[in-house]
Amino acid sequence: MAKSKFDEFIADEISKQKGVYIPVRAGMIERLFVRKAKCSDLHPNAEDEFSMPAVGPSYRIIGEYEKKFREALHFERRVFDEPLTVEKLRPNGYLILNGHHRWAAAMRCNIKRVPIKIINVATESDIKKILEKSQHDKRVTLDLDEVVFRPENYKYLEKKFIFPLNLRMKQRIRLGIPALFYFLAKNGYDIWVYAADYYSIDDIQKFFRAYSVHVDGIITGVAKRDQNQTESALRMEKLIANKYKKTLHIDNDLILVTRGKAGDFDEMEINSSEEDWAKKTISIIEEMEKNEAKR
């Protein structure tokens, strides 16, 4: 398919989605296994830069994938190293969250079916429900990949889960995260976790529930949101900002405290060993809460 024709095809696909397609929750069995879907059942995401006329698909990247796929087909090797990440749609098909260029290259190579991983992501209506349900005016945010999750060879880790809990979430979390989350919830904080990549929010909820702790808000695909800043993403940010008077952002080395809409902030360093990271973080927040209570 020529560039101009493909651009027209994408624009037509986006146009067809309006007023017809809506995201729906996929069941556990659907999310459990990688499956194959027809390329024709996959739909481009209007909020991805791939589908935006001002940015559009990178035909250089599509060409690189196309070359790789044709070589794999010629030598009868596996074509896809990783599945495309998608969200289930009603009335039919899937919305591409990650893998647009691979999808385009597959179509140009006349590959009929591609591997997909179905996930559930937080929608604007989900965020509204969380905020309406919450009785708190303060929250804490943590980056899943940078702060909460740790590599397998990391020394200080929480106990590893066994089958079947380890099927969907294979990540390990740093020692003390459940105790930290329990402390925060007990002290009136809503807990929000963020990730640059896409994870299924249901899997993350169940993952932390297995550690006997609750996570209130789960925002994944942050890298895409930050790039594109769609109207929906901006509305969600505004809703969250209007809800909370105080936000703690916990990083590996410091706690950033922001207050009010003006965005006044303080920084508190976490000077501790890796083993005592959670314990030190709790003590810093505990001290902050005591000082604020005296004012």
DSSP line for 64-121: HHHHHHHHHHHTT--S-SSPEEEEEEESSSEEEEE-HHHHHHHHHTT--EEEEEE---
Q: Is 221 exposed, middle or buried (0-12, 13-18, 19+ CB in 10 A)?
A: buried
- Do 234 and 208 have their domain in common? yes
Last residue of a domain, one of 61, 84, 118: 118
Q: Which of 203, 230, 231 shows the shortest CA–CA distance to 218?
A: 203
- Do 134 and 263 have their domain in common? yes
pLDDT score for 227 = 55
- Do 7 and 70 have their domain in common? yes
**Domain span holding position 83:** 3-118
Q: Is the predicted pLDDT of residue 225 greater than 70, yes or no?
A: no
- Do 84 and 141 have their domain in common? no
Residue 248's SS3 state is: strand
pLDDT score for 184 = 97
Comparing 106 with 124, the larger pLDDT belongs to: 106
CATH number of residue 197's parent domain: 3.40.50
CATH number of residue 58's parent domain: 3.90.1530.10
Give the mean pLDDT of the chain: 90
Comparing 108 with 3, the larger pLDDT belongs to: 108
- Do 153 and 286 have their domain in common? yes
Q: Can you tell me the mean pLDDT for 238-247?
A: 88
Q: Is the predicted pLDDT of residue 191 greater than 90, yes or no?
A: yes
- Do 220 and 142 have their domain in common? yes
Number of structural domains (the chain) is: 2
- Do 133 and 109 have their domain in common? no
- Do 36 and 129 have their domain in common? no
Q: Can you tell me the mean pLDDT for 199-218?
A: 92
Distance CA 48, CA 229 (A): 10
For the record, the structure tokens of 120 come out as 């559930």
Q: Can you tell me the mean pLDDT for 86-112?
A: 95
- Pairing mode, strands 22-23 and 113-118: unpaired
Q: Is the predicted pLDDT of residue 231 greater than 80, yes or no?
A: no
- Do 9 and 88 have their domain in common? yes
pLDDT score for 126 = 87
Task: Considering only CA atoms, give the Rg of the chain.
Answer: 22
Tens digit of pLDDT for each residue in 243-274?
A: 999 999 999 999 999 987 666 789 999 999 99
Residue 231's SS3 state is: helix
Tens digit of pLDDT for each residue in 15-51?
A: 988 888 989 999 988 988 899 999 999 999 988 889 9
Q: Is the predicted pLDDT of residue 226 greater than 60, yes or no?
A: no
Following CA atoms 193, 195, 200, 203 in sequence, which dihedral angle do they give, to the nearest 10 degrees? -50
- Do 114 and 128 have their domain in common? no
pLDDT score for 264 = 79
Tens digit of pLDDT for each residue in 59-87?
A: 999 999 999 999 999 999 999 999 999 99
- Do 76 and 221 have their domain in common? no
- Do 149 and 273 have their domain in common? yes
Distance CA 154, CA 174 (A): 8
Last residue of a domain, one of 66, 91, 118: 118
Following CA atoms 122, 124, 128, 129 in sequence, which dihedral angle do they give, to the nearest 10 degrees? -40
Q: Which segments within the chain are labelled E, that is strand?
A: 22-23, 35-38, 42-43, 84-90, 94-98, 113-118, 138-143, 149-150, 172-173, 190-194, 217-219, 246-250, 254-259, 264-269
Q: Is the predicted pLDDT of residue 237 greater than 90, yes or no?
A: no
Percent residues over pLDDT 70 in the chain: 93
Q: Is 133 exposed, middle or buried (0-12, 13-18, 19+ CB in 10 A)?
A: exposed
pLDDT score for 219 = 92
Residue 131: how many CB atoms within 10 A of its CB?
18
Last residue of a domain, one of 56, 89, 118: 118
- 96 and 44 Cβ atoms separated by less than 8 Å: yes
What CA–CA distances, in Å, run from 217 to 13, 30, 140, 147, 159?
31, 23, 10, 16, 24
Q: Is the predicted pLDDT of residue 3 greater than 90, yes or no?
A: no
Confidence of residue 1 (pLDDT cuts 50, 70, 90): low
What's the whole-model pTM score? 0.86
Q: Is 44 exposed, middle or buried (0-12, 13-18, 19+ CB in 10 A)?
A: buried
Q: Is the predicted pLDDT of residue 2 greater than 90, yes or no?
A: no
Tens digit of pLDDT for each residue in 146-187?
A: 999 999 999 999 988 776 666 667 889 999 999 999 999 999
Q: Which residues make Cβ contacts (< 8 Å) with residue 71, sequence separation at least 6?
A: 77
